[in-house]
């Protein structure tokens, strides 16, 4: 489906083929990886928010669920959280 600028992509891992979709997104949540992973490098290069190494994301996140990312703390909040 079409990725919107407000979307957060929840991914098991990242690949080069996903970069065009990630470029359009507000951020990514990636189950696999760490600080030196492809997902981390992609997020830095694209300038998008990322939380990486969230192995249980697939068990708890649903399609079109509203979440807020706090990359400083490495936390995904349910719903819209305003600072």
Cβ(39)–Cβ(54) under 8 Å?
no
Measured distance CA(61)–CA(37) in Å, rounded: 22
Catalytic residue among 3, 26, 32, 38: 38
Q: Is 38 designated active site?
A: yes
- Which residues, including other chains, have CB under 8 Å from residue 11's CB and lie 6 or more apart? 18, 28, 29, 30, 31, 39
- Active-site positions? 38
């Amino acid at each position: 489906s079409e990725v919107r600028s407000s979307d957060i992509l929840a991914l098991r891992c990242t690949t080069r083929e996903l970069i065009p979709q990630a470029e359009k997104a507000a951020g990514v949540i990636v189950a696999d990886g760490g600080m030196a992973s492809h997902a981390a490098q992609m997020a830095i290069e694209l300038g998008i928010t990322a939380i990486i190494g969230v192995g249980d994301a697939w068990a708890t996140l649903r399609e079109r669920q509203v979440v807020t990312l706090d990359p400083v703390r490495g936390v995904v909040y349910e719903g819209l959280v305003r600072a």
